[in-house]
Each structure stands twice: as C-alpha cells, then as structure tokens.
Chain A
Amino acid sequence: MMKRKYLYNTTVCLLVVTGFFSCDKGYKELNVNPDAVITPTPAYVFTLAEYDGAGYNGGAYGTSAADFLLGTMQYTTSYNDVAGFGSKYISSQVTQSEASFSAAYPDEINELGIVIKTVKTDPSKVNLLAEARIWRVYCFMRLTDLYGDIPYSQAGLGYDSSVYKPVYDPQQTIYTNLLSELDAAAQSLDASKATFGSSDLIYGGNTAQWMKFAYSLMLRLGMRLTKVDIASAQTWVTKAIAGGVITQDADIAKMSYIATGQNINKNPLVLDLWNNDYIAQNGNTNTEGGKYADTWISYLQSTNDPRLGVLSVVWVNGVPDTVASIQKGMPQNIPNAKPANFVTYSEPNPSTVLLMGSPKLLFTVAESDFLMAEAALRGWYSGASAASLYQAGIEAAMRQWTIIAGSAGTIAPTEIAAYVGNNPLNTSGSFNQQMAQIYTQFWVSIFPDAQEVYNNYRRTGYPALVPNNYPTNATGGQIFRRCLYPISEQNLNAVNYSAAVSRQGPDDLMTRIWWDKQ
C-alpha cells in the first residue's frame, strides 16, 4: 500500500518537475531595459549621424583621416614620428590610416540605416528619407575615396539581415549607385512636407538647400570620374550644374557646433587639432610636436595671401602673433627630435582655425566655383568663363573665413580685390597650366578640408606637392594613394577582404583606387 502511494506521489512530482506550469511570471517585463527605448526617433538618430559623418570619428581623435591628411597635403607636420604619419608616411605608423574605416560603419552608416528604415515607408516623411539618403552619399563617398572597394550594398545590415561579413563592392559600382541615389533623392524632395527641422544641423531641414547640396555632391562625384570615365564625368557634371549647385554663401553646407560641453557637440577637426597638439596654447609644448608645414606657409607668403594673417600665428613671448613676416612653416624632415627653435614655427590661429564652436564647412561656394571652372575649361559648361569662376572661387574662399570665425576671420574686400587682381587665371596657358592654377588655389581655399583636397590632388595631380622622402617611409618616398583596410577585417571578414584585395590590388598604400587610374 505504501508502495502505491509512493508511485502516485512520484508521478505528481514528476509532472511538476517536467514543467506543466509556468515559472516565468513577469520575466518578459523583467527583461526590458528600463533605460532604453524600443523605437528610435529618426530625427535624433539623424542628428547623431550628421555629427559622426562630419568627422566626429567615434570620439577617437588623433588618427582620423581629416587630421593626418592635413600633413599629407603639407599644411602641417610634426617632428614626432608617431604623429608624423600624415606628412612622413612612416611605415611603422601605417595602421593610423585604418581608423576612418573602423569608425564609419558602426557610427554614421548604421545610424543612417536606422533612420532610412524608420522613415522610408511613410510618404509624409519623404524629405527625411531624401536628406538621410543624401547624407549617406556624402558619408560613403568619404569612405570609398580613401579605401577604394568597400562594403556598400551589404554594409550596416548586421541587425536587419544578419549579414555579419559584408561583401566589398567595386568602387565603380559604388559610384554608380551614389550618383543615382543623389539624383533620386534630390528629385524626391518636397517643400510642402515635413523635415528634420532643427534636428538637421546642416540646413535646419531646408529642402531647397538640401537639393543644392545633393547636386553639389553630384558635381563633386561626377568630376571625380575624369581619369577613368570622361564621358560619365561630363554627363553627371552637366546634370549637376543644371540641377543647381551651391553658389551663394547662404547655401554653404556646414555643420554647426557648440564651443563647450560634450566633445560630440564640438567642431571635430578643431577638437582633433586641439587635443593632438595645440591644447597647451603656448607654441612650445605641442602635445604631438605639430606645426604648420613649410610648404603651406611659404606658399601663402610667396603669393602675399591675406589669409596668412587669418590662419597662422607664431607664439612670441607667450602671445600669438599674426604678423605675416614672422610666419614660418616647420620642415617636414625633422628626425623625431624637438628642434630647439620649435616655438618659432607657425601654427593654427586659435581665434580662427581653432574655434571649437566654429562651423565645419562641408561644401562651399568656392568648391562649386573651382569645379565649374574646370567644367568650363573642359567645355562642359558655358554659363561663365573659367577665369571668372576661378576668381569667384577665390573671393568666396576668402569670405568664408568670416563664416567660420566672424570678425577675426574677416578679410577686407580691398585685400580680396588686390589678391584676385594679382592672381588671375592664366587663360592663355595650357589646359594643364590652368588646372594647376585652379587646384593649387583649391588647396589654399578648401583648407582645412584636407580630405577633399587629397581627392582632387590624386585626380588632377595638383597642387604639385613635392613628396616628403623621409627615411623609413612606407611608400618609397611617394604620397600614398589610398588608406589601408583595418587589420581586424582580415580576422573578421577574411573572405570578402581577400576578394577585394585580389580585385583592387594589394592592401597597400600605393595601390590606386578605381577612379585614380594611372
């Protein structure tokens, strides 16, 4: 009898044990993060994408391309080898060139993916979608121009499509898509519909200006194709100019920043420069040994450029001095030891170039003018002459320091007039001579956006910089043609990495990307 009772009770308990009842009441709620939301707000994510795409670089300063390319384009240099990758191409520092790639995807690329996914099916949010698409083009363009083939079509799909190892798309495919994205997005803008409003730090949601920005980017991208596909270049450049590019100061695409507070709200390039070198503000204990390079200062001096006094200072007795005659750039071949006269070299003017709250110009009137000058020179555009566009570009570039730095950056109209008068486009010169003039002036005018200057340098060969043949450089004394993929891709995305390398050429600083064909 006892035995039977055991059997009964054992059965009851087994039923209990094998889970005929729920022991998870409240667990669904318990597993909800109280400090986070499930649904993103597209405007807030878009603002972050603007910050990140404009160069915040995940907050990791010092190795962003925006920074070291200033050295490569010979605006700046450093006696220190570690910080000198940009101007010295030191082989032991090549991994610095990986940083932009690593940062972009989890930041702006993924953020824009979230925005686009959230707004794309809602017709009332067509402007939000269009602006996100245009900004996405800007971001991808910055990336592919540095690395060549990159993950594009499958990028940022880790969550949505479980793609953990995206393929690398050929740059040609990427360019084709970027251009058609610009076209489609620009045409979808509708002034009667909602915008990001104040969450858009570039245009405050203004659809007309976004359209100009889209066509200006189309101009930039189209012109990029001159070495590799001249016919397409002409088609897109013509289309862009017809669509209406940025030609008024009020339409300049610029990110606005705040001088104090969180780093993310500050001008990222200024933050980089500041933290890397100029934070002590004494001209002597520059953190990583940085100064303006001799190439840059000498050129401004040789042309009596009024921008020299706006952009450059020498610290004299603990005070920054803008007097043009004492400006002096540092040689780019100093072998890793602080020179005794370090303090006497020029560095960025703290009241213009180093303003943490100054806007970062993403696409300027000057850039439109110079690109259209080239278009005119090539006979693709007849709305104005190359010479007048060249002059307009210089004038716009001089005016833009007022936009950046207010009165401290203002160059008197008389000085501007004197400079343009002394430096006209030599219309009787050869095509190459005029190109040299346009893109040397582009170099002076687009500063400090070294990345866009570097793109046009690779495309046109101008300005005709003399590469720094520093011992132990990684390039055989040449300016590098691309940046390196992160080593982590070899570990985490090996197959697609290898496919890209076998298609594009060795993952090497001297391998040329598609539009930079020899």
Chain B
Amino acid sequence: MIKLRMTHWGSLLVCLLLFLCGHGQEQVRSIHGTVRGATDRIALSGATVALAGHREIATSTDATGNFSLKIPAGKVEGAIRLVISSIGYQTLEVVLEPHQTELSISLETGTAAMNEVVVTALGINREKKALGYAVTTVKGDEFTQARENNLANALSGKVAGVNAAGLSTGPGGSSRVTIRGNGTLGSDNQPLYVVNGMPIDNSVPGGAPTANGITNNVDRGDGIAGINPDDIESISVLKGGTAAALYGSRASNGVILITTKKGRVQKGIGVEYNSTATLENVAVTPDFQYTYGQGLDGVESTDLNSAQASGRKSWGAPIDGNSNYVAVDGQHHPYTAKKRNLQNFYQTGSTFTNSVALSGGNEKATYRLSAADLKSNGILQNTSYDRKTLNLALNGRLTDKLSIDALAQYNLETGHDRTGAGDALGNPNWTPLEIANTADVRWLKPGYDSNGNEQIWNDASIASNGYFVINKYQENDTKNRFIGQASVAFEPVSNLVFKGTISEDHYNYNYYNILPTGTLYEPNGQYTGLKTDVSETNGLVTASYKTSLTRDLGFSALAGGNTRKYAENRLTLNGLNFTIPYFYSFSNLGSSSTVPYSPRIGTNSIFGSVDLDYKSLLFITISGREDWFSTLSPQNNHIFYPSVGGSFILSDAVRLPEFINYAKLRGSWAQVGGGAPDPYQINLTYSNVASSGPTLQNVTGDANTGANTISNPNLKPYTSTTYEGGFEAEFLNSRLGLDVTYYNRQTTNDIVNTAVSTTSGYGNVILNIGELRNSGIEALLTGKPVRTKNFGWNVSYNVAYNANKVVELAPGLPSIQIANSVGNWAYLDQIVGRPFGTLVGTRMTRDPKTGLVVFNRVTHTPVMTTATQILGNSVAPYTMGLTNDFRYKRFTLSILLDGKFGNKIFSIFELYATRMGKLKSTLPGRVGGLELKGVDQKGAAYDTVITQTGGVLRNYYDNYKTYSELFLHDGSFVKLRQVIFSYQIPAAALKGLKIQSANISFVARNLLILYRQTKNFDPEQSFTNSNAQGFESIGLPRTRTYGLNLSLKL
C-alpha cells in the first residue's frame, strides 16, 4: 500500500505531475494586451480573454490587467476573434488585424450574466455559465459608500437566500449571517469567510454573549468585523454544498469569498481616498402608557423612600401635573409624562472612516498599500470602537513561469465600554426602558454619589443605574490582528500550474471588564479579564491543468491538499472584591483566579476536481475530498465526500424564441462532511477549581459557559448533502433577467451540544444525532427598464423561501434545548417535526370546553401551563431584497429595501415593562379594579374584581411574566435598508487639483422601518451571533444611520 503523510507534499506532487503530464502544443501566435474599464481606465484583473469558438483557448488577465494568449496553429482560419469578459462588465468581441499581436481593450460596465466570470472555491476564477450551482457576486464598492462597521451586515438584502443581520450591541459588534437556513443543530451555522482563497477566523473572543448572561455579557466582535471594505474587490457568496465542496466541512454553511484589491500597472502612483462620516440615532421609541405615573398601587411617590421603591414603577396616580411628586433625586417635580427618556439617555452616535490606498507597479510587480481608520462613538456615552487597518498586497511575475502573491494585513481594534445585554446587572439599557414614566432619566445623573458609589434609583439593586454603568463600569479591549498570505505559482508548461499557499490569521486579544467598587448589588466589585491568542493557519498546495481533449471537449483538473491548524491560548481572569476600594487592578483583588484554556484543532484534507466543457454548451464538474478531523474519535475521524454538478447553455444549444437571449440550466449534488467544532469532547476530564484552601477538583466545565458537559468517545463526522437545480435566463436583449434555484440540504449525524436536565449531573451533552433538512427556493429578478444616455434605471429583486425541519433527534429524544431567556421566561428548542430554533414557553391555561381562562382562587392569577407550549419559529423563512438604482447624468440614486417574514420574537424588555406598569396593556383595572372572569381549577365559574389595594393589581400584572405567550410578536419587517445618493463631480471642475475623479454621496442605512409588528422595539434586536436568536433581551436600541461619503482618485 502506498503510505503517504500529509507532510509529504512532495510525493503528492509527483503523483499530480504524473497525472497531469502535459501535452504541449506548437505555438504559432502569441497575443498580448491589457484590459481596462472604459470609463475609469482601471486595469481589470481576472478578466477572461478567450478565442471565439474555442473557449478552451483562454487566459485571464493578471493583477495589472495584462494578458498573454497563445493560439496554436491550425486553430483558426481567417481573422482571429477574441472574446473578453469580466465581472460587472459587458462582454466584448474583437477581431484582430492579420498581424496584430498587441491590443488594448476597454470594457463597458454592465451586468450581462452570460459571460460573467466569478470567483469560486480556492479563489479560482470561473465563467459563471459553467457553474452547476448558484453563486452571487457583489462588487466591493457596494460596501464602501454606505458603510456598516461590520462588513457582513452590509450583505443584508443583497443576496437571495442570505440572511444577514447586525446585532444591537453597539459599534464594534458582531454579525450573524446564515445562508439557506441553519444547516446544523449544533455548530454556529455561519458561513466560512475566505480571503483570496484562504480561510480566516471569524470567532468571537471568549464566545458570543448568551441570552441570560449577566454583567460581563458583552459582544466582543467577530472576525469579519476586522475587514476593511475599501480593500475589497468583490465578494462571492457560494451558497450550496456543491459550491463549497472544495473547502470541506466548514463550508457546509456556505462560503463568503472575499477577493481583495491588488495593485495595477500604471505610471506613477495611484491614490484613492475615501472618507465617510455618519451619524446615528435611536430608531424606535416604545409605545408606553402616559396615563399613570410613578408610584405604587395608585399612589404617586411623594418622598424619597417611596420614590426609590417605585423608581421603575409606573403604578401611581393619574398624570395630572401636580407638584407633590418627588422623584429619586429627592426633588419635587411636576407630575408630567416624560416621553423622551430614550432620546435623552442615548446620544447621537458617530462614525468617521478615512481610508487611503496607494497602488502602482510595472510589468514585473504591482503593489497596493492601504491604510484605514474607523472611529465610532456609540449612542451610549463613552462607548467607542476604533479600527485601524493596514493592508499590503504584493503581486509579482518573477518569470514567465513563476509568480508570487503576498498579502499582509494588520489590524488594531480597540473597544471601549461595549454594552452588555441580557440580565439587569451592568446593563445600562434597562434604565431608560424601565424608569417610571414621569421621571426624567437625566435626574439619575451622574449615577453616583460624592464617594463614587452607585445611587439608588429603584427597589432592586440588581437593576443598575444606567449612568453609574456609563460612568463607572469599565470595559476595554484591544485586538491586534495579523492576516498574512503568501503563495507561489509555478507554471512549468502552459496551463499546468502548481501553487502553494500558506496563510495565517492570528490575533492577540486583551479584554477586561470592571464592575466597580460601590456598585449597589456587589459593593466590593468584580474583575473579569480575558487574554487570548488565536491563530488559524492553513497550508494549501494545488496542481491544476487545463487542456482540450478534443476540438470540442475542454478539460481541466485540479488536485491538492490542505492542512489546517487552529490554536488558541486563553487565560480567563476572574476576581472579586477590590481590596483597596476604587483601585481597579488584577493585583488588588480579595480573591482571584486565572484559568487557562488551550484548544487545538487540526484538519487535514486532500481533494481533487475535474471540469469538462463540451463546446461551451455543457459543463460538468466532479470533485472529491477527504478530511481528517482531530476533534473526532480516532476510530472514526475521517470522511470522503464527492460532488458533481453541471450546466447546460440552452440558448446556445437550441434556437429559442427571439425574446430569450440567454438560458442556462444547472444542477448539482454534493456532500460535505464535518467534524466537531470544539476539541476535547471525546474524553471526560477533570480540572482544578479555584480555591484559597484545599485542592478542589471537578469535571472540566465548558470553556465559555462553565457547564459540565458529557463527552462522547464515539464522535464521528456528520454529513451534509445538498442537491440543487436552477435556471438562469435573460430576456429582451438582457433587459430582464431571471435566476431561480431550488435546493435541498440534509444534515445527518449532526454533532450537537445540547442542554440536558441537570439531574443527570451535567448541564449539557455532546451527541452525534439527528437529521435536519433545509429546502427552499431562491429567485433573482433583474431589470433595466430605462437605459438611455442620460437616464438609467436598474432594478433587482431577490426573494428566498427556506423551509427548515428537524427531521429526527436521537431515539426517544423529542427535543433539545439551545438557549433559555433571562429568568427562564422562554426557551429556544430544537423539536422533531419543527423548524430549527422553536420558541417554547408557557401560556395561560384555558378551559378546554369554554376556552375561558382558568384561575387559581388562592392567588387570583391565571393558572400557568407547563413550559412546553410551542410559541413559534425564531428564524424567518422568507427573506427578500429590492434594489433600485437610478442614474441621471452625474447623479445616481440607489435604494435598497429588504424584508424578512414569518418569524417570532420573544421580548424580555416588554416582560419587564409590563411588570413595571409601563405598557398600555397594564392600564385596565387601575380605576375601579379589574374583573377576572373565567373558571377556577375545578371548572366552576370564577368572577372576581381585583384592585390596586395592597399591590394586588400590580402583582397580577407582574405575574404576567409567567405567561410567555404575552410577550411574543411576529418579527416580520420591511426596512428601507440603504439609500445612496451620489454626484460625480465633473472632471473639468477638478482639473487644477490633479484629481481624476471625485464622488460625493449622501448615504443612509436603516433609515425607516416600513412595516413591523413589534410596536415597542425594532424586530432586529438580536444581541448575540450564536444560534440563540428569537429573543429581544434589552440590548442597545437599533439605530438609523446617515451621513456623507467622499471618494477621490488621484
């Protein structure tokens, strides 16, 4: 048997060499040239130059826009015709003069799909028409005008089947992107992010916030947040397993391929400058009641004690402007409604982004160096996020046969006072939302007394004074990140390319969070710190070969291997009780502990693929890959998976009616295997527990949640199988385009970390169970209704429906739990027969015969059902986006609407606002009492009036928290997501300034919510990028952003 090891790349290459031994062809004519954009004269890299009628004779332009095409003898009789195509440009066909060997080509912008070239797996450029699966490409400049701090958020609404949502966690927050639904029960379900063919890390240091976390529960930002949009040439979204088969397991949730900009050949130095300034404001104000003010049981607060007891409670007297009212500042105020507490508590946030890029080069080498600075001040005072990015791309063609590419990116990200979500302690958002409605939130300023201790503002010290949190809590984090890539490509004979690439994404992260001395709930303070080094390293070698087997049959093949290493060195620092008050150092703690966690993951892979092209009419791709996972049982740690796909250009094969100018059918089938996302889940281990006395030992808890988890010695790979079919068509001279896809994706043997009853002795268990299915339809409709010299109108509408179903869990296991809310008021479960992420909770019990509410005669409250009632789906099955682009002379206007439909949200803020008497739903019964009518637990009629006396009515409403159904809302929405209004300054006006082009734009994001069912909050109010969606949990309010963008080219 052949015994190879992954380190023995040489052997593999020999094998590939044998396999791909070339058959050289006599070269008679060599044609050189450059390809540029017609309007901006930018050199186009990756443009395809092909011999008409012989698509197998083709090349693509390098980073400088140059190409060289060798045309064998006997291929062409008569004039040579070349077809030149590039992403986003109209394809051009040129006829060469008899002896012409050099040419300069200008491509007009356009979007005709038929000859588009797209970036696919491993960074390979392929003609879109040859693909058997759906792929969508978005150009980089779509992200540079109306910016999101986190690039991934900007995908929202742009690509059919991509569900992207920003979180309400402040300026440095994470994103959550899912493609074609949640494909696994256990992993985070987010796509793999790939830069120039190599994966990058997208982890959140120390893990994502949880639904019920406290104090330290902040979103520390994910990996994709570190990418500067100015450096992006294009983004390709590979949606299906087929598209992603070459990336292996982590691609089973789709791949987002980012191609960065490179330098180009030009005289002198090209300079690009881009500047954006935006402001942001709270977008939604809750619809509170302003009939009854601060107080309890119908009585307003008239002294400091009663004000402190009712600081969060609007159960007082009718708001009549009387002057007896005393608030928690101890002062008399008119008893009037304060309707602008949110606006007064939150400020106008601002973000300034400046980036400059220098580029240039000659035939041998090109470079591009960019520097960018993003400064963001959140809507919460003192909250800021700063990101500096330095990016250097070097590309060299050392000889005809040898070229190198290198990319180095350095990021420095600093976050300050990131805002917590979830439970009350240290979450400043509770204050403006829960404060009594006659109190002005600014009366709580500065939140601390002369000693610096938190000032009381309500009856529960766990509900922090928001100003104290703003002014005294401390959170700081710094992330130093380096992304490096280097590759060497060797082309010994034409079209045979060996390529080796090594990449590392490394970051060093330092975080601390201070709960200060003088906090009412924990007067001596707390310290939490996280220091971690994370690296994702990949080594990749490939060999590819491209040839024609016959005149009609093109052939290309690729084989390679990849080795991936993930390593983290984490120290978690926890401490209690600052010995010297108000002095915040890890050295000054009454007790402290330092806990190391050092996960290591390896995945080795080999893969190969073959592409066949028959007359440019029929394309077939076959691939196979084998992965070995370090995180699985040594007995069962590898899996082979194949894929096959094809496309057929119907419009070239048969004569279609005149109005159809392009039609393509495609289909594919693919499997992807995957390992466990975390290491050390095979064996139960034991760790020491922090102790100041005797040695203590327990089961090693989960590094992020602390939960004891039952390990699984038999973990084996899971499998995700996708098939998809679709067609693309263009009509009426490409004025109308349609792209429709149906897909089905099934995940089996899923690896799931699920909550179990704590009576098992453990909080969680790792299971290799279950089957999950996603199937859906995606459609993209594009149109160019108006296309004149001065006025143009393009419209693009994408819509997707994804049906998700948990087909099976383990035998005898009908459901598993993903998350629980603060106070266990609702749960998120996976339930057999239901879609991924079902919200579960309680309802009021109703008499089965009459439908009347069943009351408990002792407590005068509706009887709660068990907490097993299905409330709804947390994930929207329908998503859509509508883009309208208008151009009038030098003005362009781009409007993006997007929407999601069919999901439910459980609102923890509303639950608390109900308890506090702030919602209109708590008004009935304040005068004359509330009649409770129904039946009692024995079925007899029940009819009682409860009043405010003794707090009975207040507690009745307080008890509403035990009925989850009352705080459930439809999460559907339509938003005016993005508006860009640009003016291109005429070149004549810039003549003296040596500026080639200049563009100024008004930009806005999340400007309006056109439709929603949640009257008190923005339906996109998530606070974690984990699977725990479907909870609104008192995070920062969502904002609308607007500002100006200026872009210059020198």
- Please give the residue numbers on chain A whose beta carbons come within 8 Å of chain B beta carbons, in ascending order: 2, 5-6, 9-10, 12-28, 30-41, 43-45, 47-48, 51, 80-82, 90-92, 95, 102, 105-106, 109-111, 113-114, 150-151, 154-159, 162-166, 198-199, 201, 258, 260-265, 275, 279-280, 285, 287-289, 335-340, 471-476, 486-494, 497-498, 510
Contact = CB atoms under 8 A, between A and B. Distances in A.
A114 B699 contact: yes
Contact of A32 (B680, B757, B866): B680
A41 B689 CA distance: 13
Contacts of A280: 523
Most chain-A CB neighbours within 10 Å: which of B456, B679, B760? B760
Contacts of B827: 488, 491
B685 A36 contact: yes
Contacts of B958: 92
Given A27-B630, A158-B756, A261-B693, A17 B640 contact: yes
Contact of A13 (B559, B595, B763, B861): B559
Given A159-B710, A492-B755, A82 B296 contact: no
Interface stretch (B33-41, B44-52, B301-309, B661-669): B301-309
B685 A38 contact: yes
B760 A335 contact: no
B829 interface: yes
Contacts of B640: 17-19
Given A24-B630, A159-B710, A262 B761 contact: no
A17 B759 contact: no
Nearest to B19: A9
A153 to B, nearest CB: 11
Contacts of B576: 263
A419 to B, nearest CB: 36
A289 B456 CA distance: 12
B760 A158 contact: yes
B588 interface: no
Interface residues of B, number: 118
A260 B590 contact: yes
Contact of B760 (A27, A38, A156, A487): A156
B269 interface: no
B688 interface: yes
Interface stretch (B216-224, B598-606, B650-658, B924-932): B598-606
B700 interface: yes
Contacts of B524: 279
Interface stretch (B322-330, B392-400, B464-472, B949-957): B949-957
Interface centre among B310, B460, B949, B961 (most CB of A within 10 A): B460
Contacts of B522: 275
Interface in B568-610: 576, 590-591, 593, 595-598, 600-602, 604-608
B823 interface: yes
A20 B697 contact: no
A21 B761 contact: no
A484 to B, nearest CB: 11
B1020 interface: no
Contacts of B460: 80, 82
A337 B459 CA distance: 8
Given A166-B757, A475-B858, 18 more contacts: A18-B626, A22-B3, A31-B600, A45-B686, A114-B686, A150-B759, A156-B760, A164-B757, A164-B760, A198-B694, A265-B692, A285-B456, A335-B951, A337-B296, A472-B950, A472-B952, A476-B859, A494-B868
Contact of B950 (A258, A289, A471): A471
Contacts of A13: 15-16, 19, 559, 608
A23 B606 contact: yes
A489 B757 contact: yes
Given A27-B628, A262-B690, A36 B955 contact: no
A375 to B, nearest CB: 34
Contact of B859 (A45, A91, A198): A91
15 contacts: A9-B18, A9-B21, A18-B640, A23-B5, A30-B600, A35-B597, A48-B698, A91-B955, A92-B955, A95-B824, A106-B762, A111-B698, A157-B761, A166-B757, A262-B691
Contacts of A155: 759-761
Contacts of B691: 261-262, 264-265
B817 A491 contact: yes
B697 A34 contact: no
B717 interface: no
Interface stretch (B197-205, B631-639, B727-735): B631-639
Interface string B718-762: 000000000000000000000000000000000000011111111
A335 B460 CA distance: 14
B2 A27 contact: no
B496 to A, nearest CB: 13
A264 B759 contact: no
Nearest to A13: B19
Interface string B681-709: 01111111111111111111000000110
B521 interface: yes
Contacts of B520: 285, 287
Given A16-B2, A279-B524, A492-B756, A113 B817 contact: no
B121 interface: no
Contact of B951 (A9, A111, A336): A336
A45 B698 contact: yes
Contacts of B350: none
A471 B952 contact: yes
A72 B217 CA distance: 34
Contacts of B296: 335-337
B762 A336 contact: no
B869 to A, nearest CB: 10
A106 B761 contact: yes
Q: Which 8 A-B pairs have the closest CB atoms?
A: A261-B692, A158-B760, A471-B950, A110-B761, A156-B761, A36-B685, A337-B309, A472-B955
